[in-house]
Structure 1
């Protein structure tokens, strides 16, 4: 008699590596079918109720199209919270948690914080939750992303103010922030060949890609704008493309930023840059 685990594996093993397949089987069983972990390993496929079989079939069909499991679930974990996600926003990554952790560790509780390219709002909302005295804004060009961020803000009972702003065409207004943080688009078109289909075919191009001939487009624009938006000695935090760490640091230096540091992520890659105005 075919076990549930065997059924899931047989339909997905040609697409996903063994380690990912184990994780997917656990998520499908526990979080989507609402079964116990034991049911996943010893439960029989034939014993599933028809309604759960239908959910299972649809889930597997979506995974066979390389749709990320987080979009299928409708949420992704980040820094101990559950954030609603959909194809209009990037799925939060563990590396970005390190960026948030660094800001919390280094910053006064009552900081004025601006998150540029907020997406699901995971950075801004987490900072608002973990730094209750902070005043936090999140900007994004995408109206779809901002709708998702607003829902997350409400669901998680945070206090972030969101604005629809195209940073590439933004004329700075009066207003001083202590911190600007951004995880902007930084993947060049030539890097597409190395990307997995579940990113390339599902996550929004608007949040991923920059021109091959200008990989620092967003970093430079944000840093230039930051010269006016940041308070004296205010700090900028970037999540970066690991291939352009030195170039990003040199760009910040050319704009008269100081105390520039490149920080490696948990995988040993250059991932974060910090600098003071």
Structure 2
């Protein structure tokens, strides 16, 4: 089989499920993964012969795509904030909007440090999943101490691998933020300058909006909350932050766009100040920052 004929197979098998742009994207991603060819090389080598072993890899990947398995899970990795992360069914696939949250935190920290000699901040990521937020912050704030918690042992296993892969130090702890009666002593022995969380926030009633590649593959534990208590995690994390942030500490959340005003009100009622709501690259109300004391 040649590269050109392989491309035809991709469209024949996948065009009823995906758009032309998506099929092309899958094709180039997998050619890079299995043949180590860049897109420019593919154009120059349409008659390149593919071995039987490689054809099998492509066929298996096409079958997985037909079953709407995410391409990131098929190749076992993705990219986030210019870093590579291993992913599998036990962790959410990092999203571009979460990169914006990381960029916002780094911008805030940089602005603070311009007027503050303290650069070794304590940072806590709650519900770390693949570790993408914690590791990206640790990579860019080398003097800071970064902690990350998750309820899932399997997620923490992946996160620890990702920290090693990206040569970063993160203190990973197994912890259920909803059950702080069994708190890891390390967690409560610290005060944090920054607490960040991208917790479960999709309501059950919103499942109809979720594509099958997400709904049938990504961990529901990290995605969904009950309709009757959609701000459960924000409530618990905000209470934890009030007790465990430093005097001028800040909290950052990724949020449900449909519950933006409710989330802002929750933080106001708890006494947080300087609450700022931001939209993501898609124009959705997606991120909130707040502090426990008026500060610049």
**So what's the TM-score if we normalise by structure 1?**
0.95
Q: What displacement does 1:38 show?
A: 5.3
Aligned position for 2:90 = 88
Helix, strand or coil at the partner of 2:205 = helix
Aligned position for 1:159 = 169
1:35 to 1:162, Cα distance in 2 relative to 1, 3 A: same
Equivalents in 2 of 1:115, 1:69: separation in Å?
A: 26
Q: After superposition, what is the alpha-carbon deviation per residue over 1:164-200, rounded to whole angstroms, capped at 9, x for unaligned?
A: 0000001463421011000000000111111111100
Within the alignment, does 1:239 sit opposite 2:260 as a pair?
no
**So what's the TM-score if we normalise by structure 2?**
0.90
User: In the alignment, is the contact (CA less than 8 A) between 2:279 and 2:286 conserved in 1?
Assistant: yes
Runs of 4+ in 1 over 6 A off after TM superposition: none
Q: After superposition, what is the alpha-carbon deviation per residue over 1:194-231, rounded to whole angstroms, capped at 9, x for unaligned?
A: 11111000000010000011111111110011111111
Q: After superposition, what is the alpha-carbon deviation per residue over 1:90-149, rounded to whole angstroms, capped at 9, x for unaligned?
A: 001110011000111111432110000000101001100101111100000000000000
Q: What displacement does 1:60 show?
A: 0.4
1:117 to 123, 127, 138: 127
Helix, strand or coil at the partner of 1:168 = coil
1:32 to 31, 34, 52: 34
Aligned position for 1:218 = 233
User: In the alignment, is the contact (CA less than 8 A) between 1:5 and 1:40 conserved in 2?
Assistant: no
Q: After superposition, what is the alpha-carbon deviation per residue over 1:214-261, rounded to whole angstroms, capped at 9, x for unaligned?
A: 111111110011111111121000000111111000000000000001
Aligned position for 2:46 = 43
Long gaps (5+) in structure 1: none
Helix, strand or coil at the partner of 2:159 = helix
Aligned position for 2:144 = 134
Within the alignment, does 1:200 sit opposite 2:215 as a pair?
yes
1:62 to 55, 59, 64: 64
Equivalents in 2 of 1:160, 1:184: separation in Å?
A: 19
Aligned position for 1:176 = 191
1:274 to 289, 293, 296: 289
Equivalents in 1 of 2:14, 2:78: separation in Å?
A: 21
Long gaps (5+) in structure 2: 114-118
23-32 vs 50-59, which deviates more? 23-32
Aligned position for 2:270 = 255
Q: What displacement does 1:3 show?
A: 2.1
1:150 to 156, 160, 165: 160
Equivalents in 2 of 1:39, 1:160: separation in Å?
A: 38
RMSD of aligned C-alpha atoms?
Answer: 1.6
Aligned position for 1:23 = 25
User: In the alignment, is the contact (CA less than 8 A) between 2:34 and 2:54 conserved in 1?
Assistant: no
User: In the alignment, is the contact (CA less than 8 A) between 1:33 and 1:55 conserved in 2?
Assistant: no
1:106 to 1:39, Cα distance in 2 relative to 1, 3 A: closer
2:81 to 75, 79, 82: 79
Q: What displacement does 1:35 show?
A: 3.5
